[in-house]
Copies of this chain bind each other. A is one copy, B any other.
Amino acid sequence: MTSVPPSPSFNNINWHLVQFCPDSALEPAVAKCFVVPLKREDMPPVKKGILERLNTGEVVIGDGGFVFALEKRGYVKAGPWTPEASVTHPEAVRQLHREFLRSGSNVMQTFTFYASDDKLENRGNDLRLSGQQINEAACDLAREVANEGDALVAGGVSQTPSYLSCKSEAEVKATFKKQLDVFIRKNVDFLIAEYFEHVEEAEWAVHVLKSTGKPVAATLCIGPEGDLNSVSPGDCAVRLVKAGAQIVGVNCHFDPMTCVKTVKLMKEGVERAGLKAHFMVQPLAYHTPDCNRQGFIDLPEFPFALEPRILTRWDMQQYARAAYNAGIRYIGGCCGFEPYHIRAVAEELATERGFLPAASEKHGTWGSGLDMHTKPWVRARSRREYWEQLQPASGRPTCPSMSRPEGWGVTKGHADLIQHREATSEQEIQHLLEMQKKAKASA
């Protein structure tokens, strides 16, 4: 380990720029840099737990979504969206974890989205890897990188095909239990039940997670209109808290401002009910003003043409501020978030947190690094006012600014939603195209 002068001074602490080499024997040139307090007594002795942090009002920064980020890097298949890359390409998953850590994340969420056994073998997804293998590999990678900085490991479960196929409460809970067994064996720091469209299934998940004694967070993928059975955000939150979740909120499906609005409604509901909870938000990094209740899945651009909707880093700073002002303290991201989006959240909240993330060594706050650009008119953009006021063009004059969501009005239990192991047949596709045409005509 070697320190590189000069040391920055920030927030009444002298910081120290450190390079460390995780694989130093093999690759002496590999170095990761971050800042730590210069004086021993300023250094946190052991990591604080998630509730310890939230109870003292600390900001906890989450990570971004892995399935979308790794899809773009070539390791996750859109459609099944299953996380086998932890086994097949661990270097890619590890690198993404590191980038989020370096960007300011305090949570390394295990890459176990849709890693329940029923989902892994759905619709012809012939993986030949067991759920257990995948969940274990994901835990190991999250822990490895969490150890490189001030981050906790969270084990995550998400909604199951079993629920949509009307399996019993016991069967659905057994599905969660299988993932949970790995998490406990691997000793994750806390648990997250995330991405639930029906609050009922999320309650079941919380029941199972709660049984372990670990802290439990629960997030639904809903907007201000509530879950797919029209349970309002406030009522959803109350039910989750009563089921045992200490942290509640939303993730995925809607853009940041819509998600903050939804969590506000949850907070009001919890307070009205005389209950107490912490709140969290992990939205999309896509603008979705045109979504209906079901969120971005229904947008015609999902999932392969969402590019024009991607938030800028400045949009992210606005989001972080809005979330903070709404009293939310666990602030992260979901699909579409890249490391620089998380860094923007961390930069916006640098004053509240007392430090900048490591990756800010490569980013001047509010674009100040542009004062080193060769072109003078680009140097003139090295300031907050410029970027705050800019309304960025799409470069797509033949495209609209909003779409009409699809959504066929089918819900839990509908034949087209039932899971099965066989691949989708040509006949089924023809049937779907018919339905698509009909839905379009009636729009």
Please report A residues at the B interface, Cβ cutoff 8 Å.
4, 19, 23, 26-27, 29-33, 71-80, 87-92, 95, 98-99, 102-103, 122-125, 128, 133, 137, 161, 164, 255, 286-290, 297-314, 338-340, 343, 358-359, 361-364, 367, 369-383, 387, 390-404, 406-408, 410, 416-417, 419, 423-424, 428-429, 432-433, 435-436, 439
Are B433 and A380 interface neighbours, CB within 8 A?
A: yes
For this complex, 12 residue pairs linking A to B, each with C-beta atoms less than 8 Å apart, are A27-B90, A30-B88, A78-B369, A290-B395, A298-B377, A301-B390, A302-B378, A305-B387, A307-B308, A309-B394, A379-B432, A380-B429
- Once A71-B362, A305-B390 are accepted as A-B contacts, the answer to whether A397 and B432 lie under 8 Å apart by CB is no
Who on chain B is nearest to A340 by CB?
A: B72
Shortest C-beta distance, A119 to chain B (Å), equals: 8
With the chains together, A363 CA to B409 CA distance in Å?
Answer: 28
With the chains together, A77 CA to B367 CA distance in Å?
Answer: 10
With the chains together, A88 CA to B28 CA distance in Å?
Answer: 10
Are B392 and A398 interface neighbours, CB within 8 A?
A: no
Who on chain B is nearest to A361 by CB?
A: B77
In the A-B complex, list the 9 residue pairs whose CB atoms are closest, starting with the nearest.
A287-B395, A74-B359, A79-B369, A397-B402, A376-B416, A380-B432, A309-B395, A305-B392, A371-B424
Say which residue of B303, B390, B400 sits within 8 Å of A393 (CB atoms). Answer: B400
With the chains together, A31 CA to B306 CA distance in Å?
Answer: 30
* 14 more A-B residue pairs beyond the given contacts A31-B88, A77-B362, A80-B373, with a C-beta to C-beta distance below 8 A: A29-B137, A74-B343, A77-B363, A78-B370, A79-B382, A92-B99, A289-B397, A304-B312, A306-B392, A308-B394, A383-B429, A394-B394, A394-B401, A397-B400
With the chains together, A76 CA to B398 CA distance in Å?
Answer: 32
Say which residue of B32, B128, B301, B339 sits within 8 Å of A89 (CB atoms). Answer: B32
- Once A392-B396, A439-B377 are accepted as A-B contacts, the answer to whether A372 and B73 lie under 8 Å apart by CB is no
Are A394 and B125 interface neighbours, CB within 8 A?
A: no
Who on chain B is nearest to A32 by CB?
A: B89
Are A429 and B395 interface neighbours, CB within 8 A?
A: no
With the chains together, A294 CA to B381 CA distance in Å?
Answer: 17
Instruction: Point out the residues of chain B lying under 8 angstroms from A73, CB to CB.
Output: 99, 338-340
- Once A75-B362, A377-B298 are accepted as A-B contacts, the answer to whether A371 and B429 lie under 8 Å apart by CB is yes
Instruction: Point out the residues of chain B lying under 8 angstroms from A358, CB to CB.
Output: 74
Shortest C-beta distance, A407 to chain B (Å), equals: 7
- Once A79-B364, A374-B419 are accepted as A-B contacts, the answer to whether A396 and B387 lie under 8 Å apart by CB is no
With the chains together, A378 CA to B153 CA distance in Å?
Answer: 32
Shortest C-beta distance, A171 to chain B (Å), equals: 17
